[in-house]
Amino acid sequence: MKYNKLIFDLSTPGRTGYRLPPLDVEEKELSDLLPKEILNEEELDLPEVSEVDVIRHYTNLSNLNFGLDTGFYPLGSCTMKYNPKINEDMASLAGMTAIHPMQDIDEVQGALQVLYDAQKYLCEVAGMDYMTLQPAAGAHGEITAIMVMKKYLEDQGETQRNEIIVPDSAHGTNPATAVMAGFKVVEVKSNEMGRVDVEDLKKVVSDKTAGLMLTNPNTLGLFETDMKEIADIVHDAGGLLYYDGANANAILGQVRPGDMGFDAIHFNVHKTFSTPHGGGGPGTGPVGVKAFLKDYLPKPIVEKDGDNYYLDYDIKHSIGRVKDFNGHFGIYIRGLAYIMAMGHDGLKLASSLAVLNANYLQHELKDHYKLAVDDICKHEFVLAGLKDDADGQLTTNDVAKRLLDKGYHPPTVYFPLIVPEALMIEPTETESKQTLDSFIKAMKEIAEEAKEDIDILLEAPHNAPVRRPDETKAAKDLILTYQKGE
Ligand SMILES: *Cc1c(COP(=O)(O)O)cnc(C)c1O
């Protein structure tokens, strides 16, 4: 649908969308009430519209938005999973919303229980001992955890450890985090099966290694088969292991990072534990650690004494605060509601189905698209362009744009960086076979169009309000004001 009007375009002089009750006080001039110098002399140029105009305008605009509630959204690495609406009900209960973080601890015991239970359950899923709920997103969790690791190593007298190892397939936030925390980034290569190259890892570890940041399954959606060896190599060299939990939707209830050898982790609660997200928020990135790192966590953490919940500020070597109060409370309500409703068996079923759905799509698409790595995947997989790409004239960008015409949100494109023409697909567990089959059909139609009429792809999308913007300019050169008459 095309709809590109501004509310000003609908304005008709004299039209109103409101009616005020009769005045029951004495009428006064504004200039009698306010100092003259702060009054505006000119008429304000506001849109004059009826109530129906306003409703239709904003409803039409909202229809331009594509969200999980409108259609299939297989955005790999971001885990756009279904957000059960009961989570929203829980988060909007008056007992959750009509409280203030400065209130007396005795008055907000229920809220502290939410946080305490969130800590406990997230620790259980992660195989960690303690958890801070402060970080506001995954990337924020990364920097929090790496600072915790840094301070721990300093206290051990290991100040020479100034390198963080990051796989070449890593999410960009990993090297960025390491640099922000004052480390040098050392890259470890992936092997031809898309996993960490263990021989290369042996070469890059040393007494300068502070740690390894790893996503497992990794950004190709592949489980690190040499996990134990990787953990041993890093630990034997005196480094720590950090788990980027963005892909935890593949392992919920199956295997725990703590049991894989990781010392610290973050979860992206908004990805894995079903909070609506996208476009930059809201999120939260709690960090879990093994007991030996507890004394370095941001403070406070929520503790329990008998039946009483309290905030524990007694964290001796704490790196300090990384966020006001206790982090994004509302997201933990949603995450907790999700975990409690699912239970262990439910979480395990969710990850099983997420993996099954991804493998089904991969299997059905691999005759038409190149695979980055031809192997059983976890919750997502990466394509490497069309098999028949009209001698390189067609790119993944064209496929993604054409998917818009067919009613789908395109998967993640051009990530991870080590895969040329990457298209990363993550269906998640809640999509039906019918939805997956329709998506497969659309992807196969695109592959056919690529053989028959490449212009359809090169000119896609054909029915979107904006078609092919200069993506850099659209992101960097925003036009946020409306000049009337232009
Ligand atoms: C999403 C993601 C992050 C960053 O998480 P945010 O919550 O967006 O800050 C880090 N690593 C990986 C692998 C991710 O997919």
What confidence tens digit (pLDDT) does each residue in 421-443 have? 999 999 999 999 999 999 999 99
Q: How many CA atoms lie less than 13 Å away from 350 in the CB half-sphere?
A: 23
Q: What are phi and psi of 214, to 5 degrees?
A: -140, 140
The pLDDT of residue 479 is above 90: no
What residues does 264 pair with on adjacent strands? 242, 289
Ligand 1 centre distance from Cα of residue 350 (Å): 20
Question: What's the predicted TM-score (pTM) here?
Answer: 0.92
- Mean pLDDT calculated for residue range 477-483: 82
Report the pLDDT value the prediction gives residue 474, as an integer from 0 to 100.
Answer: 86
Show the tokens assigned to 245: 């939990």
Closest ligand 1 atom to residue 137 Cα is 7
In the predicted model, what is the mean pLDDT of residues 62-83?
91
Atom of ligand 1 at shortest range from CA of 268: 7
Q: Is the per-residue pLDDT at 284 higher than 60?
A: yes
Give the whole-number percent of the chain exceeding pLDDT 90: 88
CA gap 68, 363 in Å, rounded: 24
Task: Give the least confident one: 35-39, 296-300, 374-378, 399-403.
Answer: 35-39
Query: What is the rounded average pLDDT of the residues 152-164?
Result: 98
**Residue closest by Cα to atom 15 of ligand 1:** 77
Please determine, for residue 482, whether its predicted confidence score (pLDDT) is greater than 90.
Answer: no
Protein residue closest via CA to atom 2 of ligand 1? 246
Rounded to whole angstroms, how far apart are CA atoms 484 and 6?
10
480 vs 246, more confident = 246
- pLDDT tens digit string along 312-371? 999 999 999 999 999 999 999 999 999 999 999 999 999 999 999 999 999 999 999 999
Q: DSSP labels for 28-89?
A: --HHHHS-GGGS--SPP------HHHHHHHHHHHHHT---TTTS---BTTT------HHHHH
- Residue 231 or residue 19, greater confidence: 231
pLDDT given for residue 229 in this prediction = 98
Reading the block at residue 165, the tokens are 């190892």
From ligand 1's centre to the CA of 92, what distance in Å?
26
Mean pLDDT of 98-126: 97
Pocket of ligand 1 (CB under 6 A): 77-78, 137-139, 171, 173, 215, 219, 244, 246, 268, 283, 285
DSSP, res 425: E
Beta strand spans in 334-475 (E):
369-371, 381-386, 412-413, 423-425
Confidence of residue 81 (pLDDT cuts 50, 70, 90): very high
Q: Best of 142, 144, 168, 173 to mutate for ligand 1, by most ligand atoms within 8 A of CB?
A: 173
Q: Which two tokens stand for residue 369?
A: 């698209």
Protein residue with least CA distance to atom 8, ligand 1: 138
Average pLDDT over residues 371-383: 98
As beta bridge partners, residue 383 has 371, 423
Query: What whole-number distance in Å separates Cα of residue 158 and Cα of residue 156?
Result: 5
Q: Which of 271-285, 376-390, 426-440 has the lowest mean pLDDT?
A: 271-285
**Is the omega angle on the peptide bond into residue 257 within 30 degrees of 0, that is, cis?**
no
Structure confidence at residue 170 (pLDDT): 95
Q: What mean pLDDT comes out for the span 159-166?
A: 98
Q: What pLDDT is stored for residue 364 in this prediction?
A: 98
Q: Do 224 and 193 meet the contact criterion of CB atoms below 8 Å apart?
A: no
Tell the residue nearest (CA) to atom 6 of ligand 1: 138
Separation CA 407–CA 403 (nearest Å): 6
Q: Which two tokens stand for residue 99?
A: 């409280």
Q: Supply the pLDDT for residue 464.
A: 86
37 Cα–ligand 1 center, Å: 51
DSSP state of 148: H
Per-residue model confidence as pLDDT tens digits over 195-230: 999 999 999 999 999 999 999 999 999 999 999 999
Cα–ligand 1 centroid distance for 217 (angstroms)? 13
Inter-CA distances, 233 with 26, 80, 260, 363, Å: 82, 34, 13, 34
Q: Do the Cβ atoms of 129 and 294 come closer than 8 Å?
A: yes
Q: What is the reported pLDDT for 453?
A: 94
pLDDT confidence bin for 485, thresholds 50/70/90: low
Q: What is the mean pLDDT of residues 137-143?
A: 97
Predicted confidence band of residue 279 (pLDDT cuts 50, 70, 90):
low
Residue whose CA is closest, atom 3 of ligand 1?
A: 138
- Owner of token pair 């996990």: 227
Q: Are 300 and 128 in contact (CB under 8 A)?
A: no
* 140 has a pLDDT exceeding 70: yes
pLDDT score at 486? 56
Distance 88 CA to ligand 1 centre (A): 23
pLDDT of residue 2: 66
Q: Residues 434, 437, 441, 444: what is their CA dihedral angle, to the nearest 10 degrees?
A: 170
Q: 228: CA distance to ligand 1 center in Å? A: 24
Match 């997200």 to its residue by tokens.
277
In 10 A of CB 78, how many CB atoms?
Answer: 19
Quickly state the pLDDT bin for 281 (edges 50, 70, 90).
low
**Cα–Cα distance, 291 to 278 (Å, whole number):** 33
Ligand 1: atom nearest CA of 283 is: 7
Q: For 409, list phi and psi in degrees, rounded to 5.
A: -75, 130
Does residue 63 register a pLDDT over 90?
no
Least confident of 33-47, 115-129, 175-189: 33-47
Measured distance CA(23)–CA(216) in Å, rounded: 66
Q: Which residues pair with 209 in a beta bridge?
A: 163
Give the β-pairing of 287-289 and 184-188. unpaired
> pLDDT at residue 1 above 60?
no
From the CA of 142, give the closest atom in ligand 1. 10
Residue 483 has pLDDT above 80, yes or no: no
CA distance 211 to 183: 10
Q: Which two tokens stand for residue 449?
A: 């169009």
Query: What letter would DSSP give residue 325?
Result: T
- 77, 144, 266, best to mutate for ligand 1 pocket (most atoms within 8 Å of CB): 77
Between 3 and 86, residue with greater pLDDT: 86
Four-CA torsion 132, 137, 143, 148, nearest 10 degrees: 0
